[in-house]
Amino acid sequence: MDSPTERYEWAVGCLKDAQLRLTRPRQCILRALANQKAPVSLERLADDLEEACDVATIYRTMHRLRQAGIVRQVNLAAHCACFTLIAPGERCDYLVCRDCGVITDLPDAEPILELEKQVAARSGFRALEHETEFYGICPDCQRNTNPLRHR
Ligand SMILES: [Zn+2]
């Protein structure tokens, strides 16, 4: 599920299944989440959606969306609570920069999927899920060229 439109439509379908109305704030939040795969913080969302909804509305909406299984909360280090859609087939494997806090998808998650298979085989668990976070220093911060670094 790659395009923002597909992800948005999936989320709206889930909302209907959960018998939740597609209110204007929900619409805005789901669009914002569908537009990017990396988890986004409440503060970022509030900045992006300043006209559409306030932080309290976003917070309440996230709670409902989590209960409905549409959104996952990812707690990345001490940065903040971030949120992302749980669209089918999408993984939660991230690289997080300790300096600037940038979050990117892990480029190759094959070894982690392999590990998950091994864990399933050895533990007898079924339907495993996982969230992986690697912390380090991103290439921009290593080159000391990242303008976000010394905020
Ligand atoms: Zn960085």
Cα-to-centroid distance, 136 and ligand 1 (Å):
8
pLDDT averaged per 10 residues in sequence order, the chain, 151 residues: 90 94 93 89 85 85 92 74 84 86 86 93 90 90 75 48
Please give the Cα distance from 89 to 44 (Å, whole number). 25
Ligand 1 centroid to residue 128 C-alpha, Å: 31
So what's the pLDDT on residue 21?
94
Cα(37) to centroid(ligand 1), Å: 18
Entry pTM: 0.73
In this prediction, residue 127 carries a pLDDT of: 84
Please report the pLDDT score of residue 19 as a whole number: 93
Instruction: Identify residues whose C-beta is under 5 A from ligand 1, the ion.
Output: 97, 99-100, 138, 141
Tell me the CA–centroid distance for residue 97 and ligand 1, in Å: 5
pLDDT reported for residue 148: 65
Compute, in angstroms, the gap from residue 147 CA to the centroid of ligand 1: 9
Distance CA(113)–CA(89), nearest Å, equals 12
Which strand (E) or helix (H) includes residue 73?
strand 71-76
Contact between 72 and 92 (Cβ < 8 Å): yes
138 alpha carbon – ligand 1 mean position (Å): 4
Q: How far is CA 136 from CA 21, 133, 142, 148, in A?
A: 41, 10, 10, 15
